[in-house]
Structure 1
């Protein structure tokens, strides 16, 4: 009873803060919403059981590593935002890297939309009980076709306006989840009942598995493309704030979840978070399903629109939005019916890592051309790290 009261109180308090005009209308917060929506779009739904199973008591350290890697890659993009705002002009090599980077991002969006909507389908069928893989795939396919229909006939402008409401809903539910976890964790600690699991992944396999989870901390790069609405300073601050908030959420979540349940009681499946939180409170599973459906749909809409705009820009308008939407939905249907969700997660991670590698290489080139050798070396190292993730990232088994 106490846990449910704390959960509802945290939910109501956070929702009230999000609805407060001084927050809702704050320019920095509005700029933060887009990257934050992408970062927390799905990671908190799958990371708990995956990291607990693979890394056991070391799960918080791996989560910290993922957050630090995201912060470092974000640093390359923030460097470029600042430099371009100062009037920097790229040479031929820089222009080619920028173009390659944009194509990599557009391609990554194709995979991320499939990832988001497969997670949507998996959580949607849980409304009617356990659900099946076939049922989840049917739901995902229906939503993919809905996305195509809306994009083809009306565009996504109206749906994109839901983004801030969606983020507020997610943050309120995440606050409730953390509050419930906090009460449960404190009780377990007081009883001396916390567990220290041994992870199932070891050595190089553990490293490549972490590579395959990069997509769970991805999304900060969207600040790079908000130049028509916010100046460089606002975008840099918004990206930092989004990464700090998401990092705190992830570390608090994994820092408690990793020590609550024996490893043999936590099977690895995409909706296991529902079963784990059901042991904590009867309220949390319902809230998580609401958060999952809201988060995945809004993230898929954002990435679909983003890819359509990028490809239209890259081709000088020769490939219109509608063609991109149709190709994306076709690719999404193919992935839905041929891959499991963890394979899609790994492919999405590798695709975004390629984009980050290009951005880091571009930042290294810009740093060298402006007389910053230390920055150039650091960014070049990050480019190599991004390439390694692209080549070696593996899915959860």
Structure 2
């Protein structure tokens, strides 16, 4: 084992130890933050790097910053709505109630697609280092995991799903720390030798904009704080969403900077597991660790969104539809997408669905501000965010 492997493992174990430290693990703000943070990081950390590097070249960090800033702006609208619900003790005018219900139905549908995205990535990474690496094998693994999630959700309920999710969050964050440590070591060597990669962008203009629209799902997940009202008060949920978005943005930007300027863009057909091949030249330990991180990340994100969808539909139907009925529909949709679409198409579909949700949340914030304060700067900004979300939902495109 080389020095860089020891460095990677040391970083992984150190962060893992910090995450299980009782004072941190037991802190209310951290517990509230870990749910949206896990969802954001699980939404596309490993797949996003090669995509941005191949599409935007030296400008990839700016594309990443744009995605993070856009997500934070939508998060501002969601946080405003959380505060308003708290201020009014859950009582809102009928038009706002109907808008909130529309947003929730869109989110429940978006979860159907996002779970398919997560579990298709799970299948791809699960077979990547095996002799059975093929599209059929990956989709077969995805199918099996879908059926497992359905069985657990149907017979055990959401509490069992939550238990599975909690196990994987710490593993994922610790391995990401190891990945960043390895990339920093590798990148420092390139910088010292003057071997910095400054590749041109291959996607520009309107095509670059619509590709960015189609990648918003990779930074979604912050909205989960909105639906933790049974566990945390509004102030804690608002703070936890901010902290989760700050931390995830820092992690994403460090990752993209280190990757972009140390690796030439992938030539030819881009694969969803491209990061594994890229990391082989960094350290022997990274491919295996990344597979573990990918399986952990995608599984925990899928569990969170499966449970979220079931809970939303149960609530929106006036408790007439049990969560497990939603799980059944979700798995049916997911299996259809698994066998009829490729992963990059699913990413774009999920991005467009979440963009529609953010558009409605921003529209709700605009309506609420206009009622309280009249048409002012905040009303215009929230309305602009609603228009941006609608444009993303309409024009988002997949990676070619």
TM range (shorter): over 0.9
2:382 equivalent to 1:375: no
2:38 equivalent to 1:18: no
The CA distance in 2 between the partners of 1:239 and 1:154, in whole Å, is: 29
The CA distance in 1 between the partners of 2:338 and 2:44, in whole Å, is: 19
Match of 1:395 in 2: 398
The CA distance in 2 between the partners of 1:234 and 1:266, in whole Å, is: 46
Match of 2:230 in 1: 228
List alignment gaps of at least 5 residues for structure 1. Answer: none
Match of 1:263 in 2: 265
Report the CA distance shift for 1:289/1:42 in structure 2 as closer, same or farther (over 3 A): farther
1:129 is displaced (CA, Å) by 4.0
Output the TM-score relative to the length of structure 2: 0.97
The CA distance in 2 between the partners of 1:122 and 1:12, in whole Å, is: 26
Query: For each residue in 1:153-192, what CA deviation from the matched residue of structure 2 results, as whole angstroms up to 9, or x when unmatched?
Result: 1113123124343221111101100000000000001111
The CA distance in 2 between the partners of 1:4 and 1:328, in whole Å, is: 40
Aligned partners of 2:50 and 2:266 also within 8 Å:
no
1:160-171 correspondence to structure 2 within 5 Å: 160-171=162-173
1:130 is displaced (CA, Å) by 6.7
Aligned partners of 1:67 and 1:247 also within 8 Å:
yes
Query: For each residue in 1:18-61, what CA deviation from the matched residue of structure 2 results, as whole angstroms up to 9, or x when unmatched?
Result: 11100010000000011011100042110111000000000000
| Greater mean alpha carbon deviation, residues 198-207 or residues 69-78 | 198-207
The CA distance in 2 between the partners of 1:156 and 1:254, in whole Å, is: 35
| Greater mean alpha carbon deviation, residues 189-198 or residues 379-388 | 189-198
Aligned partners of 2:348 and 2:397 also within 8 Å:
yes
The CA distance in 2 between the partners of 1:2 and 1:346, in whole Å, is: 40
Paired residue secondary structure (2:58)? coil
Match of 2:35 in 1: 34
Match of 1:318 in 2: 320
1:1-397 correspondence to structure 2 within 5 Å: 1-87=2-88, 89-129=91-131, 131-264=133-266, 267-371=269-373, 373-397=376-400
Output the TM-score relative to the length of structure 1: 0.98
Aligned partners of 2:50 and 2:265 also within 8 Å:
no
Paired residue secondary structure (1:270)? coil
Report the CA distance shift for 1:129/1:44 in structure 2 as closer, same or farther (over 3 A): farther
List alignment gaps of at least 5 residues for structure 2. Answer: none
| Greater mean alpha carbon deviation, residues 211-220 or residues 194-203 | 194-203
The CA distance in 2 between the partners of 1:204 and 1:253, in whole Å, is: 25
Q: CA RMSD in A?
A: 1.3
> Alignment length, in residue pairs?
397
